[in-house]
């Protein structure tokens, strides 16, 4: 089967590409390499067609979608603070880019679009663990963009007969998550700091919680979303259903890596969700998906991988 992975050179997208190639799919990747990297596709480069282009470019999206039965739409500017700094730019990608993908999939006669949605859309008002029908109160441009995009995705199912599934990922972690930007995910930043013997910074008191889910589980969720029968505009949380505070994350990573005994603290981030915890019942019932990798196991694997990258790079873990 020919499939498209937008954002396929990124953290989550590249793991998904690996799995799709391994099962024998013909994979097209559309990525502007803004945060994604060619190295992330190194082991499958000869079996993947990489189109370097933007989801904001309708011609590029149309070319990439041509002949694809399934589209995994992962491309986005994934950082909450980045969307606060540059909302017009990020809206064009996260919202406008999604509309372009839907229209291209419709024109190409694709069967299904799987959308990388986000738990950020719940904000802080919903009772926890949060189910998909909870009230939505986005706190950042990122969350607004993901919510608006998800509405488009849902509406394209009954309107145009395109099968769509929105996966609301909670906080994904694992190898290849780029640590070297202030916009990176917290797990990758903490691992990178501790490997260099530096104290990471916790924004706020560290008692905020996240539902961390390993990237291999998120890949399995995507494969399940592509395979289940006839969902019409299905929306599903993808998480473990377990809350971990940042203080606990720091303690776990410190015990694996050593390094400074205490983190630094800085002011809480604007637009930050305080607590995030998923009800994962629907993912189990509708997708047959249950996350398998315990957080501690996923963190230990990530640390092993990061040590290997650092070793190969001569103590400079900037790539990989
Ligand atoms: P990432 O930054 O590693 O991946 C995003 C990819 O999209 C990158 O390869 C980047 O180069 C590409 N991209 C960005 N703008 C583009 C554009 N205009 N055109 C084409 N490609 C573009 O981040 P990730 O963590 O792998 O995120 C993947 C998806 O999952 C995103 O949609 C993100 O919003 C969503 N998500 C991530 C998390 C998480 O915890 N990492 C949680 C919820 C949702
Ligand atoms: C993350 C994802 C977002 C996704 C959302 C779903 C990234 C970059 N962001 O947002 O795409 O939609 O989960 O829930 O992958 N923090 C620190 N120190 C740091 C960095 C962060 O204390 O050095 C804190 C933040 O203030 C926040 C928490 O860690 O409280 C998580 O931050 P971050 O990893 O950026 O993720 P989210 O904002 O939850």
Residue whose CA is closest, atom 13 of ligand 1? 75
CA of 78 to the centre of ligand 1 (A): 5
Task: Of 209, 211, 207, give the one whose Cα is nearest residue 279.
Answer: 211
Considering 122, 142, 152, 169, which one is annotated as catalytic? Answer: 142
Strand, coil or helix: 268: coil
For residue 319, what are its two tokens? 């790539």
- 142 to each of 71, 74, 234, how far by Cα in Å? 22, 14, 21
| Percent of the chain topping pLDDT 90 | 92
In this prediction, residues 4-26 reach a mean pLDDT of 98
In this prediction, residues 237-254 reach a mean pLDDT of 98
| Percent of the chain topping pLDDT 70 | 98
Task: Of 203, 226, 218, give the one whose Cα is nearest residue 114.
Answer: 226
The ligand placed nearest to the CA atom of residue 167 is: 1
Residue 229 belongs to a domain: yes
Residue 268 belongs to a domain: no
Residue 308 belongs to a domain: no
Q: Is 78 in the pocket of ligand 2 (CB under 6 A)?
A: yes
- When divided into structural domains, the chain yields a total of 1
In this prediction, residues 181-185 reach a mean pLDDT of 86
Give the DSSP per-residue string, 30-57: EE--SS--GGGGGGGGGGEEEEE--TT-
Q: Is 143 in the pocket of ligand 2 (CB under 6 A)?
A: no
Are 101 and 149 in contact by the 8 Å Cβ rule? The answer is no
Residue to substitute in 136, 172, 210, 299 for testing ligand 2 pocket (most ligand atoms within 8 angstroms of CB): 210
In this prediction, residues 289-308 reach a mean pLDDT of 97
Confidence band for 319, pLDDT divided at 50, 70 and 90:
very low
So what's the pLDDT on residue 279?
Answer: 98
Q: Is 170 in the pocket of ligand 2 (CB under 6 A)?
A: yes
Strand, coil or helix: 29: strand
Residue 103 belongs to a domain: yes
So what's the pLDDT on residue 200?
Answer: 96
Are 90 and 145 in contact by the 8 Å Cβ rule? The answer is yes
- Provide the b/e sequence for 280-318 (b: ≥16 CB within 10 Å): bebbeebbebebebebeebbeebbeebeebbeeeeeebe
27, containing H or E segment: strand 26-31
Containing structural domain, residue 161:
2-173+214-240+279-292
In this prediction, residues 181-186 reach a mean pLDDT of 88
Strand, coil or helix: 109: coil
CA of 58 to the centre of ligand 2 (A): 30
Strand partners, 236: 167
Residue 161 belongs to a domain: yes
Say whether 152 is catalytic. Answer: no
The ligand placed nearest to the CA atom of residue 143 is: 2
Q: Is 243 in the pocket of ligand 2 (CB under 6 A)?
A: no
Average pLDDT in the chain: 95
Q: Examine the pLDDT at 181 and tell me if it is beyond 90.
A: no
User: In this structure, how many other beta carbons lie within 10 angstroms of the beta carbon of residue 92?
Assistant: 17
Task: Of 119, 215, 203, give the one whose Cα is nearest residue 175.
Answer: 215
Are 230 and 168 in contact by the 8 Å Cβ rule? The answer is no
DSSP E strand boundaries for 93-233: 112-118, 163-169, 171-173, 201-203, 209-210, 212-214
Reported as a single tens digit per residue, the pLDDT across 56-108 is: 999 999 999 999 999 999 999 999 999 999 999 999 999 999 999 999 999 99
Reported as a single tens digit per residue, the pLDDT across 104-159 is: 999 999 999 999 999 999 999 899 999 999 999 999 999 999 999 999 999 999 99
Ligand 1 atom at minimum distance from 13 CA: 26
So what's the pLDDT on residue 318?
Answer: 45
So what's the pLDDT on residue 315?
Answer: 61
Q: Examine the pLDDT at 317 and tell me if it is beyond 90.
A: no
Q: Examine the pLDDT at 231 and tell me if it is beyond 80.
A: no
CATH code, 105: 3.40.50.720
Confidence band for 180, pLDDT divided at 50, 70 and 90:
confident
Ligand 1 atom at minimum distance from 10 CA: 9
Task: Of 30, 36, 33, 68, give the one whose Cα is nearest residue 50.
Answer: 30
In this prediction, residues 28-45 reach a mean pLDDT of 98
């Amino acid at each position: 089967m020919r499939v498209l992975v937008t954002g396929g050179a990124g953290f989550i997208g590249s793991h998904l590409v690996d799995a799709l190639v391994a099962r024998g799919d013909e994979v097209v990747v559309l990525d502007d390499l803004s945060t994604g990297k060619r190295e992330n596709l190194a082991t499958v480069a000869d079996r993947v067609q990489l189109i370097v282009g933007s989801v904001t470019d309708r011609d590029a999206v149309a070319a990439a979608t041509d002949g694809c039965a399934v589209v995994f739409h992962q491309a986005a500017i994934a950082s909450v603070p980045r969307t606060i700094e540059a909302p017009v730019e990020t809206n064009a990608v996260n919202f406008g880019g999604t509309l372009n993908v839907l229209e291209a999939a419709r024109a190409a006669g694709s069967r299904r679009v799987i959308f990388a949605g986000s738990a950020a859309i719940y904000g802080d008002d919903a009772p926890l663990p949060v189910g998909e029908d909870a009230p939505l109160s986005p706190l950042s441009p990122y969350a607004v963009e993901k919510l608006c995009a998800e509405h488009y995705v849902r509406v394209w199912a009954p309107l145009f007969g395109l099968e769509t599934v929105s996966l609301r990922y909670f906080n994904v972690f694992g190898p290849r998550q780029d640590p070297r930007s202030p916009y990176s995910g917290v797990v990758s930043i903490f691992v990178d700091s501790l490997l260099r013997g530096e104290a990471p910074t916790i924004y706020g008191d560290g008692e905020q919680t996240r539902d961390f889910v390993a990237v291999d589980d998120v890949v399995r969720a995507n494969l399940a979303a592509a395979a289940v029968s006839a969902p019409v505009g299905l929306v599903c949380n993808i998480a473990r259903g377990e809350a971990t505070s940042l203080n606990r994350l720091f303690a776990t990573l410190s015990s694996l890596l050593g390094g400074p005994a205490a983190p630094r603290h800085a002011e809480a981030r604007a637009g930050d969700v305080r607590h995030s915890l998923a009800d994962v019942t629907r993912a189990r019932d509708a997708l047959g998906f249950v996350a398998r990798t315990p957080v501690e196991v996923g963190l230990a694997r990530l640390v092993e991988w990061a040590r290997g990258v650092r070793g190969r790079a001569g103590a400079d873990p900037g790539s990989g």
